[in-house]
Structure 1
């Protein structure tokens, strides 16, 4: 039987080298890229200088936050939206230099602590059900879940599950730790713990309940050692932008969330752009085995046209003055230092003499693109017709030493190609879309790209 894998032979290698040498531009590109790097060489100067940092609608959310060496962007961005709401409720103005609360933040460490503790329980019980059902350990599902466990990423609905159950606390009451800012080793240890638990379940299914209890206790212990003991209540007092001192007394995180952030964010729904033709627009999509809080809201989205998604984001800022949480594939065509995204910001094809011609559907279908980062829209530039968008202002969570003090500018065409999800109030949806959320979701497998976490 002839092998389908044909090795490269010396004749082919010689032909490849000859073809390379015959094109003078290849040597110029090689000289430039080996010295300066591909992004410096491919950077589109004409496009970059035209990416303006001015917006007809802007939502002031103050100093940007920094997730440091962690994948907590979904928590940072959702808490940045909540921070905006809380500042209004507390009457503290982020833009006032005299404001003593100008750097007000929620504790992202607090949210991560309970997210990871809940995920320990969620994973153990999910895997226990599979083990009891006789799922083979080498199945695609088991191997995917084992490989994907205890990362830092998440979704808007998963964040709301945490805030609804555990509330939120100002950052000073539960600050960052070495492990919250650099989660790699902590995640590795938790992953080892959970892998071991599944191995013990498979070895002796009669002890599954005992294994869950002991592993949950061990997970709690590891998290507390790395992140500290989270507060169950705290004394809340502040001075507002008018110089008036307030004392609210002893308050729990749940009470703080309900009083100063309100339940409005909990009523948001997630809209996605799944470009694959077999998933019609107007269809509710769910992902099997995706979640964090057992008994919490399922992670579901409504697949909608991109223009509708943009219109909701624009209206939420222009009409209600609120930031908008969103998820995107942040890496393509990004100038991190300058804080720019545009579909033609880098001319890689010209440097390599390669035509990169996949559209969004093909990029999703063939593993070239998926959501991997969450941020917040805090501005948009709208043309004189009142509906056409030119560019978008983005509050990132990568600190203030890059971009425009941490704020990025996104071209509208980049939004079309690489934004996948936005969270908006359900009340913004037309009746047909609201009804769609009442229908059973089209369930996609755990490894589907629409289940990628920000």
Structure 2
């Protein structure tokens, strides 16, 4: 039946119903999905069996961490990346670095960064796209690798024992909601004062008072971060060590010491507007005013695999960003494009290219984790070992397994040391980056809970 009307007629709807009822398989699918859910119906048992937790290349790490009800995956992944190196270099037993310490300074710095962007755009109309984008989510938990580097370079790191978790570091929604309310009030006050003749210089003076209040609020939610502390531990040989009056920067330099700027973000964004071999940054994507801008080098997916595997083989974990909610079982810890046969279960098609998924909002980076292994067969990897930050009750003791096909479709970013890059890619890092709009899909932040 055809209709030329823009509205859907009742006669057409009746025909749809008749068509549905005429195919017995439709009712079988309806009964199964309504009773058990589409994942139970679409799960491919053989695919799950094939995704074994066995890997030819593995890196020893500490126990899996747990971000709980917060979107700090990028901070957990960053700290998990360096903690294993700290333990290895100093003959320590595995331990955790404080995620709430990084969270405190990230929110403090983001508040200042947000207010500076409000000042930058103060002559824009309030309903302009850029102002509304800034106001939409000024203080979310999410972040990016270069934002992690900014925090460590300015504020250092501390052991978790020095600044442990709090109620609101582990359950951040209400804290974020209240702090966001405060930032929007500051933004409103700023724009109103500017329209009344207050200069930007005077607003920056006012900002100092606001940031003092914001510091107090953060201390109330997360505790006050230490300026110095003592660090005592026994190493694996039983020898006792005591380090007194360490600043967080002292601790980082003494126990890690590498320049985090030697690690670079390699992305795979195969869209027409982002040629491979070029570098990119994103307007207004940052946390520390005056800090490092987000910086990407876009390459083909095989090159992403090549550099990630090189670092894993050298015994170094790899921070990465992906779209974790796609074709994955978060309880079993399996990420595989064959895991769910939605097309078979629903008798339809969903096929899109990776570029189309980015262009049309179907996929983008949502979560950061760490590669700690790979299963190499011949010259290729068929499975990747993933250290997540969702606690030990997910996957296998908190570790996930990723198929290489899933890597192709939903992997967007890896962070590797420059020494693992081919010479031509290392040279490409010297280009001036193309500036992307704030709402570009590669401007997404890792913040999956």
Structure-2-length-normalised TM-score:
0.95
Quote the residue 1:409 is aligned against: 401
From 427, 434, 439, give the equivalent of 1:442.
Answer: 434
| 1:113 and 2:104 correspond | yes
Task: Determine if contact 1:44/1:344 at 8 Å carries over to the other structure.
Answer: yes
CA drift of 1:90 comes to 2.1
RMSD: 1.4
From 252, 256, 264, give the equivalent of 1:257.
Answer: 252
3-state DSSP of counterpart to 1:424: strand
- Give the distance between the partners of 2:14 and 2:214, measured in 1 at CA: 57
Quote the residue 1:317 is aligned against: 312
- Give the distance between the partners of 1:316 and 1:338, measured in 2 at CA: 27
Quote the residue 2:139 is aligned against: 150
- Give the distance between the partners of 1:210 and 1:166, measured in 2 at CA: 23
Structure-1-length-normalised TM-score:
0.94
Quote the residue 1:82 is aligned against: 82
From 286, 294, 298, give the equivalent of 2:289.
Answer: 294
- Give the distance between the partners of 1:186 and 1:289, measured in 2 at CA: 23
CA drift of 1:278 comes to 2.5
Task: Determine if contact 1:59/1:322 at 8 Å carries over to the other structure.
Answer: yes
Q: Which runs of 4+ in 1 moved over 6 A?
A: none
Quote the residue 1:96 is aligned against: none
Task: Determine if contact 1:114/1:166 at 8 Å carries over to the other structure.
Answer: yes
| 1:186 and 2:178 correspond | no
CA drift of 1:126 comes to 1.1
Q: What runs of 5+ residues in structure 2 fail to find an aligned partner?
A: none
* Partner deviation per Cα, 1:213-235 (whole Å, 9 max, x = no partner): 23212221111100001111111
More divergent stretch after superposition (425-434 vs 360-369): 425-434
More divergent stretch after superposition (396-405 vs 44-53): 44-53
Matches within 5 A, 1:89-238: 89-92=89-92, 101-102=93-94, 104-131=95-122, 134-205=123-194, 206=198, 207-238=202-233
- Give the distance between the partners of 2:277 and 2:299, measured in 1 at CA: 6
| 1:247 and 2:242 correspond | yes
3-state DSSP of counterpart to 1:394: strand
Matches within 5 A, 1:255-294: 255-294=250-289
More divergent stretch after superposition (196-205 vs 399-408): 196-205
- Give the distance between the partners of 1:8 and 1:221, measured in 2 at CA: 57
- Give the distance between the partners of 1:449 and 1:247, measured in 2 at CA: 47
Task: Determine if contact 1:86/1:260 at 8 Å carries over to the other structure.
Answer: yes
Quote the residue 1:422 is aligned against: 414
- Give the distance between the partners of 2:110 and 2:243, measured in 1 at CA: 33
* Partner deviation per Cα, 1:236-261 (whole Å, 9 max, x = no partner): 11001111111122211101101111
CA drift of 1:5 comes to 9.5
- Give the distance between the partners of 2:246 and 2:426, measured in 1 at CA: 36
CA drift of 1:210 comes to 4.0
Task: Determine if contact 2:310/2:420 at 8 Å carries over to the other structure.
Answer: no
Aligned residue pairs, count: 437
- Give the distance between the partners of 1:264 and 1:22, measured in 2 at CA: 66
3-state DSSP of counterpart to 2:291: coil
Quote the residue 1:97 is aligned against: none
Q: What runs of 5+ residues in structure 1 fail to find an aligned partner?
A: 93-100
CA drift of 1:435 comes to 2.8
Task: Determine if contact 1:232/1:253 at 8 Å carries over to the other structure.
Answer: yes
Task: Determine if contact 1:164/1:266 at 8 Å carries over to the other structure.
Answer: no
- Give the distance between the partners of 1:126 and 1:394, measured in 2 at CA: 36
3-state DSSP of counterpart to 1:27: helix
3-state DSSP of counterpart to 1:173: coil
